[in-house]
Amino acid sequence: MYGHSHSGIGAIVLTLVAGAKGGIGYLVKVIAHAQH
Amino acid sequence: MKISVLIPAHNEADVLRECLDAVLRQTLPVDEIVVVADSCTDDTTEIAKQSGALVVETEQGGKAASQDAGLPYVTGDILVCIDADTIIDADVVEKFVAELERGADATCANMLPMPQQTGFWVANRRYAYALGRFWWRWCQAEVGRLMVLSGCAYALRTETVRSIGGFPGKLITCDMDLTWSLYEAGRKTTFCHTALAYTYDPETFTVYTKQMRRWASGFFQNFQRHKLAVVKSPAAILVVGSLLFDLLMMPVTYAFAILWMIRDPWTLEWLAISIAIHWVISFAIVTRTITWRQAIVGFPCYWVANWWNKAIYLWTFTREWILGRHYVSWTGRQGRATLIAPMSRARKIGLISVAAAAALADATWHAAAAEISLPDTAILVLAIAGAAAVALSFFCMPRYLTFSAFLCIGGVGGLELNRVPAAAGWLLFWCLALVALTIGLVGAVLAYLGDEAQIEYQRGAAFAGSTAPLF
């Protein structure tokens, strides 16, 4: 809990937000790469 | 670009040599090593000199203060900070420098317990670190707010740490204080998950619990100090707020789950399914870092230890934020004095007054609803208010007294709720109230003596914490 692990509803929210942000970032990179 | 390594050490002769050897084996050679020998009585200084390090001898009594003592001697542009009981992989400095060159102001490695370490608590920690590497810390880094730069191995620009006035060392966990201070100063910190550092993790229940108490205290102290910066940042609200929310919701969630289980035993199936899902997902993640065997052994240890961690965090939340008793000096492997500051008189009076007022209101309401006679109502009100007040005074007492008080109050509360008018019930009620009041009176005397004893202990300790208020 010192920053190495989370658990609970908040942890699920954090995972979803981070996953979405990471996923969008990855898509942006892929699209940018395809355009070049 | 010049690279410096700063290692604070207090009687680390047993482990310092392997730490320095790892630094000297780096694929990107470091330009200077500064070892701060803090009040050392062993061979720490000689070992450091043999490895070609610049040794700064000091008597600081703390990690951050030692780092600060070494900072004026640092001439490099990039500062790599390593604990003396940590071994870094050969490519860690190279990866740190690459991360800083990409624009980060500070970065840190992922920790793992020393490979030769075994046992329940180490297996739990190995699993937790491996899980954090590709899940929780990855999530934190992705949303832009690391909870903490791993204190055992991190790097930052020397200018960065100087710009915030050096290493902050007032709180019990200086690495978290540094991390949150960097965010407050608008600096960018990243997690270098490919860099691995190995450290000596607690092997026994006692040492593990002491470490978790310190970490938990550090979390709440940091939140208290940096609360304004936290609420201003959406990323901080998400990372820190979700952790706090989960912690405070935990008793409610599990109480609800247990009640549900009592009503419907088939809920156990759902519990088993949720554990299995957790196991499968986390297993897939941790085996990217640790072996299958370590993962199989580690999961049950991690699962059980997690409960203990949460209990420690909940108790620490109460102690740090409600009771205002701050953990100000800690014991490491070298046996430094542990000190938890006593509760202030104003806070004691405030808490007891609030409890007494609440108990008074509650008792009055119940007595009125039960239509008890006026003298009985007055006695009931006084007994419950007194019992609640003295029970709260136990928060500055040894724990067995606290538990005794809670048992008494629980008994009184239970009887009150059931409103037992029978003679036997009243007799039991008075006995419990009498016991609570007696313990309370003894407790009040012990509380006073206990506070004095703690202050004396602090004065006599070799490594005393500051007596100045933290906040």
What are the sequence ranges of the domains in chain A? 1-36
Give φ, ψ of A7 to 5 degrees: -160, 140
pLDDT in tens, B333-344: 444 556 777 777
Instruction: Give the residue among B23, B192, B216, B199 at the shortest CA–CA distance from B111.
Output: B199
Closest-approach residue (CA) in chain B for A18? B139
Q: What is the pTM of this model?
A: 0.81
pLDDT in tens, B213-266: 889 999 999 999 999 999 999 999 999 999 999 888 887 777 777 777 777 777
Predicted local distance difference test score (pLDDT) of residue B114: 96
B11-20, B104-113, B312-321, B328-337: range with lowest mean pLDDT: B328-337
Binning pLDDT at 50, 70 and 90, where does residue B291 land?
Answer: very high
pLDDT in tens, B422-433: 555 555 566 656
Closest-approach residue (CA) in chain B for A17? B143
Q: What angle do CA B176, B177, B180 make, to 5 degrees?
A: 85
Instruction: Give the residue among B284, B320, B287, B283 at the shortest CA–CA distance from B299.
Output: B283
pLDDT in tens, B313-366: 988 888 888 777 788 776 554 445 567 777 777 777 777 677 666 666 666 666
Residues B171 and B177 sit within 8 Å (Cβ to Cβ): yes
Predicted local distance difference test score (pLDDT) of residue B462: 37
Q: From CA B27, how far away is CA A35, in angstroms rounded? A: 37
The residues in B 96-115 lying below 8 A from A, measured between CB atoms, are none
With pLDDT > 90 as the criterion, what percentage of chain B qualifies? Answer: 50
Predicted local distance difference test score (pLDDT) of residue A9: 85
pLDDT in tens, B213-224: 889 999 999 999
Predicted local distance difference test score (pLDDT) of residue B182: 96
List CB contacts of B196: < 8 A, sequence separation 6 or more.
Answer: B88, B89, B92, B109, B110, B111, B112
Q: Are strands B86-88 and B106-113 parallel, antiparallel or unpaired?
A: unpaired
With pLDDT > 70 as the criterion, what percentage of chain B qualifies? Answer: 72
CB contact under 8 A, B128 and A5: yes
DSSP category for residue A25 = H
Asked whether the CA dihedral B245, B134, A1, B36 is positive or negative, the reply is negative
Q: Is B298 on the interface with A (CB under 8 A)?
A: no
CB contact under 8 A, B243 and A1: yes
What number of other Cβ atoms are within 10 A of residue B399's Cβ? 10
Closest-approach residue (CA) in chain A for B135? A15
Residues B153 and B198 sit within 8 Å (Cβ to Cβ): no
Q: Is the pLDDT of residue B404 over 60?
A: no
CA–CA distances in Å: residue A28 to residues A14, A17, A23, A25? 21, 16, 9, 5
- Reported ipTM exceeds the 0.95 cut: no
3-state secondary structure of B32: strand
CB contact under 8 A, A18 and B142: yes
Give the pLDDT mean for B187-197: 95
